[in-house]
Amino acid sequence: MKAAVWHGIKDLRIEEVSIPEISSGQVKVKVEWAGICGSDLGAYSYGLSLEAHPITGQKPPHTLGHEFSGTIVEVADNVTSLQVGQRVAIEPLIYCRECDACTRGYYNQCSQVGFVGLHRDGGFAEFVLVDEHMVHVLPENVSFEEGALIEPTAVSFYAVKESKLKAGNSVAIFGAGPIGLLTLLSAKAAGASKIIAVDLSEERLEKARDLGATTILNGANENLVEEIMELTNGGVDVAYECAGAQATITNAVASVKQGGQVMVLATFAKPVSIELGQLMFKASDITSRLAYRHVFPEVIDMISTGKLVVNPVITKKINLEDIVAEGFEQLIHDKKQAKILVRCI
């Protein structure tokens, strides 16, 4: 079968690899669509750990891709909850099930947490093996394309759910990439009445407006914080940091109201500084969440019932053979792109 295998920085190859053989507790999925994530871009641009993951025992080179959907084509003999032919989305977190976090149900905070596609072979392939508990069956009215968006939507949905946002509140979203746009949709679904989207890309800002932002602001504006303060009569209730840069975290902290909250979703390539004096003076909070837990069924239901309409986040669809030039390189150089989906069959 064909797979996109990571060998090193800027070294992602389409290769012929063996179709994986199923083991106990596993399900084999024929992948339909897979999304390119910022984590995939990070691996491509900056590299991955070359050490074997403590749970999977796998180390690079391996197949990337952790946002994907497909059809079950084989199940192990001891898998009883799933059957061949079911349409599914995958929750790709890898966790030990034994540490304190796991035993409390906080599996996204496992001390050895990993991801299918980053710490073992993932979804940029014709077939992939996943564990039974990772598999979520899709309703018939949820497309495979929407299925590939469930994982990144879960990231945003979980952060919004865990934040202090209440119906009628105002929010600012710093970064209008895929996670920022999905955060916008989740905040809108949660009842945010005023949604301010901030980005450097005018194309992404227009996409944010199309998806429901009430105000769009260019992050290069020197008076950005003052504008947000004026628009919200003293600051937003919640600021979502979805860009992962010093400027955006600084502006997020400065933009919340007294008693407000900064929720960090992005990962940062290097350490940043935070003005704690501002938080202290305003009695505001700053917090963060990694990935998600226990929300895939809710996200699937929200998409199925039309409460979350995620398809507009897709800006391009490509074939697996074109994943480097038309996918990874396109996302690096063309900032009007949001979510690029890869056809893997």
Mean pLDDT of the chain: 97
Question: What confidence tens digit (pLDDT) does each residue in 169-195 have?
Answer: 999 999 999 999 999 999 999 999 999
Bigger pLDDT: 139 vs 336: 139
Q: Residue 270 class from Cβ within 10 Å (0-12 exposed, 13-18 middle, 19+ buried)?
A: exposed
Q: What is the CA radius of gyration of the chain?
A: 20
The pLDDT score that the predictor gives to residue 254 is 98
For the cut 90, the answer to whether the pLDDT of residue 132 exceeds it is yes
CA distance 28 to 31: 9
CA distance 168 to 339: 29
- Locate CATH 3.40.50.720 in the chain: 157-288
* Residues β-bridged to residue 72: 29
For 2-149+310-343, CATH gives 3.90.180.10
| Predicted model pTM | 0.97
For the cut 90, the answer to whether the pLDDT of residue 335 exceeds it is no
For the cut 90, the answer to whether the pLDDT of residue 103 exceeds it is yes
The pLDDT score that the predictor gives to residue 159 is 98
Share of the chain above pLDDT 70, in %: 100
Residue 345 confidence class, pLDDT cut points 50, 70, 90: confident
Question: What confidence tens digit (pLDDT) does each residue in 146-156 have?
Answer: 999 999 999 99
For the cut 90, the answer to whether the pLDDT of residue 300 exceeds it is yes
Q: How far is CA 296 from the centre of its chain?
A: 12
Q: What is the mean pLDDT of residues 50-64?
A: 96
CATH number of 157-288: 3.40.50.720, 3.40.50.1460, 3.40.50.300, 3.30.428.10?
3.40.50.720
Residue 236 confidence class, pLDDT cut points 50, 70, 90: very high
* Residues β-bridged to residue 67: 35
Query: What are the backbone dihedrals phi and psi of residue 93, each rounded to the nearest 5 degrees, phi first?
Result: -70, 135
Q: How, if at all, do strands 236-241 and 170-174 pair?
A: parallel
Q: What is the mean pLDDT of residues 4-9?
A: 97
* Residues β-bridged to residue 35: 67, 341
Q: How, if at all, do strands 11-16 and 127-131 pair?
A: unpaired
Question: What confidence tens digit (pLDDT) does each residue in 61-91 have?
Answer: 999 999 999 999 999 999 999 999 999 999 9
For the cut 90, the answer to whether the pLDDT of residue 117 exceeds it is yes
- Locate CATH 3.90.180.10 in the chain: 2-149+310-343
For the cut 90, the answer to whether the pLDDT of residue 269 exceeds it is no
Q: What is the mean pLDDT of residues 271-296?
A: 96
The pLDDT score that the predictor gives to residue 322 is 98
